[in-house]
Copies of this chain bind each other. A is one copy, B any other.
């Protein structure tokens, strides 16, 4: 306990974006719009094909799905299994490291849920 956002940098004067804060780094990996939804569906369905994901992650385009999957794979959060058949068949699944992120998101989930309630009570509607 009690470490929180401690930065490892030995140079306290530098911009933290030039050091390597693990929290910032984590968010740079999964903080974009579609990464978490994709991981969420892969958590529910251990093994999912490209078009299944596209159907389940409502509103995502081919471009963003492809891009997100590729980046998640490069960071070792998901596993891509390609079958050499025609027509092509590709299955995606979470790696252990990908699954390891979910409990943390669980905590974020409950915090966010409280926030939503609070903001509703305050009648804050952000419709410009």
Contacts and interface: CB of A to CB of B under 8 A. Distances in A.
Interface in A1-46: 1, 3-6, 13-18, 20-27, 29, 31, 33, 36-37, 39-40, 43
A43 B106 CA distance: 23
| Residues of A contacting B: mostly | helix
Contacts of A100: 111, 114
B22 A113 contact: yes
Interface of A: 1, 3-6, 13-18, 20-27, 29, 31, 33, 36-37, 39-40, 43, 57-59, 74-76, 97, 100-116, 118-119, 122, 124
B16 A37 contact: yes
Nearest to A104: B107
A113 B37 CA distance: 23
A75 B24 contact: no
B58 A23 contact: no
7 contacts: A5-B43, A13-B58, A22-B108, A25-B112, A26-B112, A27-B108, A29-B115
A115 B5 contact: no
B22 A75 contact: no
